[in-house]
Amino acid sequence: MDKNTTQHSLLDRLKAHAASESIPMHMPGHKRNTALLGTDLPYNIDITEIDGFDNLHGASGILNEYMEEITEFYGTERSFYLVNGSTCGILAGIRAATKRGGKIAIGRNCHKSVYHAIELFGLEAVYLMPEMDEAFGIHGGISTASIADTLKKNPDTQLVVLTSPTYEGVVSDIATIAEICHAQGIPLMVDEAHGSHFNYSEHFPTSATALGADIVIQSLHKTLPSLTMTSLAHLTGDLIRPEELARQLAIFESSSPSYVLMASIDRCFRLLRDEGEQLFENYNKRLTDFSEKMEQLQHLKVLCHGNDSSAAHPNFFDFDQGKILIAAQGTGLTGQKLSEMLRSEYHIEMEMAYGDHALAMTSVCDTDAAMDALVDALLAIDGTLDSLNGEHSPNDGTLFFALPEKQCEIWQALESEKVDFPIENAIGQTAAEYVWAYPPGIPLLVPGEWIRDGFVRQIHTLLEKGTKVYSNADGLPKNIRIMRQEILAQ
């Protein structure tokens, strides 16, 4: 590739076009009319696929060159811009790797978009249950033994899909898992949405792009300086045809991709390629300092920071130190209450709160002042907890769950006759809708799964602790949609 062709960023090209005398007789309808619309939004650089700006779904010009730069830097077979978030990459990747009605093995803690792919393509799902971390009541990694055992029992599996890192930062042994999959000719897809920063620093776990995963999906916007909905899809190896993944992306991604978002992807990449080493050194120092100061905590705990270490979590293969999961278990606080205190008293908005946990997401863009503010707030709150005398509470206030028994496939449950049923009477029935907490968007119950009393208790506990729990029919906490049993019995 001629390096001179990409010396100008996409943003530079868009600004130059905006400054030209070109009259826009094309979409979008705002026509870059800032005299009418103002400049609060980037109308000037929001264009469509006009001459000189290529076409994402058939790229042969500048967009192809920008994506080739990323491919070369990441060492992948092909890398693709995503402007519909990681969801479109997950849908496209699963469709490219499976045949309709085929079998897929997935981590039960996968994002709901993986389940939507199973539903859309009529796939048979085999679940891989992550190991459980009893200390914090969260999911650990997917064990290599469970992968090997599942594929031995299901040799007709067409694809394995895992989430690594998890929302809380837990990383699985992707290299070994890839070897196990490839020994049977089965591709591995890794949802690395929360690990897009792994490619840029040795202070973080190694990216799945370098560990043998065949498809890796990354959300740039989650942990790197890029606008919301910007992601990347990476292809490595030769088990998935690049042209098939590209074809599926054209189906699941907008045919009118935002140039503003694509410029954000390009700008993010250039910044980290050129200045990433120093930015990540500074970032690592902030996290190291944070962890040292967390040793002063007497009541709150921070996962793998402060007095908690990875040694206390034997089923973690690795951990992303950029995730700050605070456990308030036994303090009298819920995660939601802790999050509300941080917001109202210290002006700190957390990423997520559920059960007894609150999660802070960090990145290279956090400032020293921001990290210091989080430290000061946590130490101050921790110092008030003596008087609360909270008793140790069970882990049913978390997203910790056992694998429900599958009665039928997802699509069969969704296409069956359904009825709304009081949740208290639904034990022993079969779910006909999804139930999930968002964030992180992991289904607590999937259509076709048997409803157990433990699930009902878990829902009540989560709701009591302020966690937002959703269902498709929006009947919670009173009702849940189930299959008519006579339909299931046929």
> Which residues does 449 contact at the CB level (< 8 Å), separation at least 6?
404, 405, 406, 407, 430, 431
Same domain, 300 and 257: no
Q: What is the pLDDT of residue 441?
A: 80
Q: What is the pLDDT of residue 468?
A: 85
Q: What is the mean pLDDT of residues 35-57?
A: 97
Q: What is the pLDDT of residue 440?
A: 80
Assign 287 to helix, strand or coil: helix
> Which residues does 367 contact at the CB level (< 8 Å), separation at least 6?
none
Q: What is the mean pLDDT of residues 262-278?
A: 98
C-beta separation of 482 from 428 below 8 A: no
Same domain, 309 and 229: no
Q: What is the mean pLDDT of residues 222-232?
A: 98
- For residue 289, give the CATH number of its domain: 3.90.1150.10
Q: What is the pLDDT of residue 3?
A: 46
478 belongs to a structural domain: yes
Q: Is the pLDDT of residue 322 over 80?
A: yes
4 belongs to a structural domain: no
Count structural domains, the chain. Answer: 3
- For residue 225, give the CATH number of its domain: 3.40.640.10
User: What is the chain's alpha carbon radius of gyration, rounded to the nearest angstrom?
Assistant: 24
Q: Is the pLDDT of residue 388 over 70?
A: no
How would residue 355 be classed by pLDDT, with cut points 50, 70 and 90? confident
437 belongs to a structural domain: yes
Q: What is the pLDDT of residue 398?
A: 60
Q: What is the mean pLDDT of residues 186-214?
A: 98
Q: What is the mean pLDDT of residues 372-401?
A: 74
Same domain, 226 and 312: no
Q: Which helix (H) or strand (E) holds 457?
A: helix 453-464
Instruction: Report the alpha-carbon distance of residue 89 to residue 219 in Å, rounded.
Output: 10
Same domain, 372 and 446: no
**CB burial readout 308-340, b (16+ within 10 A) else e:** beeeebebbbbbbbbbbbbbbbbbebbbbbbbb
316 belongs to a structural domain: yes
Residue 238's nearest CA partner among 200, 212, 270 is 212
489 belongs to a structural domain: no
Instruction: Report the alpha-carbon distance of residue 342 to residue 195 in Å, rounded.
Output: 25
Q: What is the mean pLDDT of residues 333-341?
A: 95
Same domain, 285 and 307: yes
Q: Is the pLDDT of residue 63 over 90?
A: yes
How would residue 400 be classed by pLDDT, with cut points 50, 70 and 90? low
- For residue 418, give the CATH number of its domain: 3.90.100.10
Q: Is the pLDDT of residue 396 over 80?
A: no
Same domain, 290 and 255: no
Q: Is the pLDDT of residue 397 over 60?
A: no
Q: Is the pLDDT of residue 14 over 60?
A: yes
286 belongs to a structural domain: yes
Q: Is the pLDDT of residue 5 over 60?
A: no
How buried is residue 89: exposed, middle or buried, by Cβ count under 10 Å (0-12/13-18/19+)? buried
Q: What is the mean pLDDT of residues 310-320?
A: 95
For 141-163, write each residue's pLDDT tens digit. 999 999 999 999 999 999 999 99
Please identify, among 386, 415, 446, the residue that sits at the C-terminal boundary of a domain. 386
**pLDDT above 70 covers what percent of the chain?**
94
Please identify, among 234, 252, 270, the residue that sits at the C-terminal boundary of a domain. 270
Same domain, 381 and 410: no
Q: Is the pLDDT of residue 31 over 50?
A: yes
Same domain, 145 and 234: yes
CA angle 220, 232, 264 (to 5 degrees): 55
Instruction: Report the alpha-carbon distance of residue 236 to residue 174 in Å, rounded.
Output: 14
C-beta separation of 108 from 125 below 8 A: no
3 belongs to a structural domain: no
Same domain, 140 and 210: yes
Q: What is the mean pLDDT of residues 66-92?
A: 98
Same domain, 328 and 448: no
Q: Which helix (H) or strand (E) holds 361?
A: strand 357-361
C-beta separation of 162 from 213 below 8 A: no
Q: Is the pLDDT of residue 487 over 70?
A: no
Same domain, 167 and 311: no
316 or 461: which carries more pLDDT confidence? 316
Q: What is the mean pLDDT of residues 183-209?
A: 98
Q: Is the pLDDT of residue 179 over 60?
A: yes
Mean pLDDT of the chain: 93
The whole domain housing 365 covers 278-386
How would residue 387 be classed by pLDDT, with cut points 50, 70 and 90? very low
Q: What is the pLDDT of residue 399?
A: 62
Instruction: Report the alpha-carbon distance of residue 201 to residue 203 in Å, rounded.
Output: 5
Q: Is the pLDDT of residue 350 over 50?
A: yes
Same domain, 113 and 169: yes
Q: Phi-psi region for residue 474, left (φ > 0), alpha (ψ -120 to 50) or beta? A: left
How would residue 44 be classed by pLDDT, with cut points 50, 70 and 90? very high
Please identify, among 248, 270, 292, the residue that sits at the C-terminal boundary of a domain. 270
Q: What is the pLDDT of residue 6?
A: 64
344 belongs to a structural domain: yes
389 or 285: which carries more pLDDT confidence? 285
C-beta separation of 294 from 304 below 8 A: no
C-beta separation of 460 from 477 below 8 A: yes
